[in-house]
Structure 1
Amino acid sequence: MKTNRAWKKQDINLRPGLTINGKWHHQRYIIKKKLGEGAVGAVYLCEVNGKLAALKISDKGTSMTVEVNVLKSLQKVQGSRLGPYLLDVDDWVSPYGHMYSFYVMEYLKGEEMSRFIQNNGSAWVGVFMLQLLEDLGRFHQSGWIFGDLKLDNLIVVSSPTRVRFIDVGGTTQIGRAIKEYTEFYDRGYWGMGTRRAEPSYDLFAFVMVFINVFYPKRFERGGQSERILFKRIDDVKALIPYRQVLKNALTGKYLSSAEMKQEITNILYSTQKRRSVRASAKEDAHAQFLMEAGGVTIVAIGYYLFSLLL
């Protein structure tokens, strides 16, 4: 029995070059490298028919079925691709005779959100907030709470620049109890709410995502969680324009992501308007004309970015 358990533990750590043969659909996947691992299973970069894909494999069949159902549900949401596109679902029998469930999804190649903001400037913070809130709104409307929303489950892709979800593990139907979570992002850990699957749970984690961007080493809870988190927000210059909205989300004041998104939109619009007025006041008539034209262009670009969310 000990030997079998050792083999089972060993053969799920798939080595590069190994071929996974689907038991039912007979598709062949060549493992390239491990991308990550969570409570439910591990995700690998693989090659199929000359193209790259992401393969998630686990011995927890029930949990995998839930994740597959979530991906299928999200693909039915009109006008948005909330999660990776599902390509295949199958089983694999290892060389040691163990059965594993796996599913294959599109491989989203991109950059970590924290690194992108560091390289391209904090002006992207507001844009990514709106994109995430728009997607979370559609996610919630489809009947699901993301549950384990965290920085590790997000990636920034290009053409156009957009933040995307890369793992739906932990997703829970609205009204049920959250079972899979990461403590730093969990309001229950901070003593600031329950683990009931509702939009406000995701919105708390949403705030923690942006806190984590500027505090990459994270930090532990203390005796006064609300005071600690509020102070962390206040100490980040890039978060100052949004601090009241973020604090409202931490304390559960928003019933939907749409409410929060509207307030972020208002902040961005007001901020841009104030900057344009201040800049115009300092220039002569000719420069003022150019500045106003530039301001209109910036606002137009902003509305274009916002339109991508609709």
Structure 2
Amino acid sequence: MMPMDMSASPVCNLTVGDEIRGKWNHSIYRVRRRLGYGATGAVYLVEHKNGLAALKIGHDQMSITSEVNVLKRFSKVQGKVLGPSLVEVDDWQTRKATYPFYAMEYLKGETLFDFMKGKSLDWPGILLVQLLTDLHTLHQAGWAFGDLKPDNLLVTGPPYRIRWMDVGGTTVMDRSIKEYTEFFDRGYWGKGSRKAEPSYDLFSAAMVMINMAYPARFTKRSDPDKQLQEKIASSPMLKRYAVILEKALNGKYQYAEEMRNELVVLLNAKDQNKTNQKQMTKSNNQKPATRQAQKKKKKSFLAETFLVFTFVFVVYLFYMLGQTM
């Protein structure tokens, strides 16, 4: 069963200027705008005494506590920055109800769609390599991301780096995915179960790239396999990654690292081809100039030889004249 749509929930409809006061820590957060919402609640950009933060608020205490635990686990992954850092956890008490929330680091950046405007076709592959690197670390820690989609991703920098904004869908491995979005869900496309495992996230990662090529998304037709193949083949951005995308969509990768390594090889091969083409172009452009330089060098040599010969001849003449006198 797909998680309930919370778009009509009070926690998803706070407006600019609304204040959220912590029941226990008494911190005050003032809403600037909503960043997004999902099955477990909404995320807002807020102001507080130390600057800007992202605040996730929901109805279910267990769901919020689970996400907080995930963020805490992320902070313990040595040498890796996966999700945003946790600021604090509290409750917001109103006249009608009490809502759990947590504040976290606000990641300033661009959405995938905004970032890609004017960028080369190599960038989707570069961002996917970064995403797969983080997914491998997450999977090794025993979690699946679950609700992987552009709405939960952000590009920070420069240097440009893909980051996770919302970890509401993260699920312990081998359990049922607790939150998903149909377009990125392999169950919706008839490509497998909703079991939390690496291949579930890798399917979603492939669909994230497809969504970058088709921002408006599209609905499933009667033959989803053929439909996805046609979408990949019809996109100049996607067809260069067609083999890797199709393997991910069909569950051919067991680990994120496998998919990442193949993608790195592909990108390196493309870079090498570009380098070779540039060198060939440079060589071709230099050929006429080289021939001209060789001609000039030959003329110069002949001129120098003529001058030397003339000088020797003149010296010889003076010598002969001296002998006759």
TM above 0.5? yes
Which residue number in structure 2 is paired with residue 243 of structure 1?
242
Secondary structure class of the residue paired with 2:240: helix
Q: How does 1:1-310 map to 2 (within 5 A)?
A: 10=10, 13-94=13-94, 96-284=95-283
Deviation at residue 36 of structure 1 after TM alignment:
1.6
Secondary structure class of the residue paired with 2:282: coil
Secondary structure class of the residue paired with 2:179: coil
Q: Which runs of 5+ in 1 are unaligned?
A: 1-7, 289-310
Q: Which runs of 4+ in 1 moved over 4 A?
A: 8-12, 285-288
> Contact 2:46–2:55 at 8 Å: present in 1 too?
yes
**Counterparts of 1:237 and 1:18 in 2: how far apart (Å)?**
45
Which TM-score applies when normalising by structure 1? 0.86
- Of 130-139 and 272-281, deviating more is 272-281
Q: Which amino acid aligns with 1:55?
A: L
**Counterparts of 2:103 and 2:11 in 1: how far apart (Å)?**
19
Secondary structure class of the residue paired with 2:103: strand
Query: Which whole-Å deviations, capped at 9, do the CAs of 1:176-233 have from their partners, x for residues lacking one?
Result: 0112110000000000111010000000000000100111111111222111111111
Deviation at residue 66 of structure 1 after TM alignment:
0.9
Deviation at residue 240 of structure 1 after TM alignment:
2.2
Secondary structure class of the residue paired with 2:117: helix
**Counterparts of 2:223 and 2:72 in 1: how far apart (Å)?**
41
- CA change 1:10–1:207 in 2 (3 A) is closer
- CA change 1:15–1:286 in 2 (3 A) is closer
| Number of aligned residue pairs | 280
- CA change 1:9–1:111 in 2 (3 A) is closer
Percent of aligned pairs sharing the same letter: 47
**Counterparts of 2:9 and 2:133 in 1: how far apart (Å)?**
40
Q: Which amino acid aligns with 1:111?
A: E
**Counterparts of 2:284 and 2:109 in 1: how far apart (Å)?**
44
Deviation at residue 15 of structure 1 after TM alignment:
2.9
Deviation at residue 287 of structure 1 after TM alignment:
5.4
Which TM-score applies when normalising by structure 2? 0.82
Secondary structure class of the residue paired with 1:282: helix
Secondary structure class of the residue paired with 2:88: strand
> Contact 1:241–1:267 at 8 Å: present in 2 too?
no
- CA change 1:208–1:49 in 2 (3 A) is same
Secondary structure class of the residue paired with 1:23: coil
- CA change 1:238–1:172 in 2 (3 A) is same
Deviation at residue 278 of structure 1 after TM alignment:
2.4
Deviation at residue 285 of structure 1 after TM alignment:
7.8
Deviation at residue 97 of structure 1 after TM alignment:
4.3
Q: Which runs of 5+ in 2 are unaligned?
A: 1-7, 288-325
- CA change 1:192–1:115 in 2 (3 A) is same
Secondary structure class of the residue paired with 1:119: coil
**Counterparts of 1:287 and 1:148 in 2: how far apart (Å)?**
54
- CA change 1:177–1:283 in 2 (3 A) is same
Which residue number in structure 1 is paired with residue 309 of structure 2?
none
**Counterparts of 2:172 and 2:125 in 1: how far apart (Å)?**
28
**Counterparts of 1:55 and 1:220 in 2: how far apart (Å)?**
32
> Contact 1:70–1:171 at 8 Å: present in 2 too?
yes
Q: In angstroms, what is the RMSD of aligned CA positions? A: 1.8
Query: Which whole-Å deviations, capped at 9, do the CAs of 1:22-75 have from their partners, x for residues lacking one?
Result: 112222212222222211111111111140001111111111111111111111
Deviation at residue 11 of structure 1 after TM alignment:
7.0
Q: Which amino acid aligns with 1:62?
A: M
**Counterparts of 1:146 and 1:106 in 2: how far apart (Å)?**
19
**Counterparts of 1:196 and 1:87 in 2: how far apart (Å)?**
31
